[in-house]
Amino acid sequence: MALRTLFTFPDPVNEKAARTVAAGVVALSAAAIAARQPWLLVVLAAGFWARVLTGPTLSPLGRLATSVIAPALGEPRPVPGPPKRFAQGVGAAFSSAAVLLWFGAGAHVPALAVTGALAGAASLEAALGLCLGCKIFGALMRVGLIPASVCEACADISLRHPEPRREPVHT
């Protein structure tokens, strides 16, 4: 596999796969919190970094979601990739913060609180399809901090919801 291909993120993304990954994040976060197992925080952070850098390619959870679970859920539901990559980046930041709090500062309760916040956001994605990272991405586009060229489908709603083709009316 070429290095250039390895470090790509899919665009569009199958929303069913994204929601499946989010459910896995919820399960892993809940396990880390309930069992107070810091190694699970490392696994969580590594998964987010793998998905940010390579999409599902190097993420076991991403591979399972895109190759097995999402196809079993029926037709894909394509959504723009850049907001999802941004959301994975937010997850990488939160999960990395939890790892640093636990191992670097010995602040176990704050580490678990950050993990709980991550689980809450992932729960919204998994259960409702509400991606908080994607909402932040959209807000940053609206204020000009993320240029429209980063996600043309995000900037132009007609690309996301094309007009249905209409057959000519014969009278």
Confidence of residue 97 (pLDDT cuts 50, 70, 90): very high
Nearest of 111, 116, 7, 93 to residue 45 by alpha carbon: 93
Domain segments of the chain as ranges = 3-160
pTM of this prediction exceeds 0.75: yes
Does 109 have pLDDT greater than 60?
Answer: yes
Packed helices 38-54 and 81-99: angle between N→C axes, nearest 10 degrees: 150
Share of the chain above pLDDT 70, in %: 88
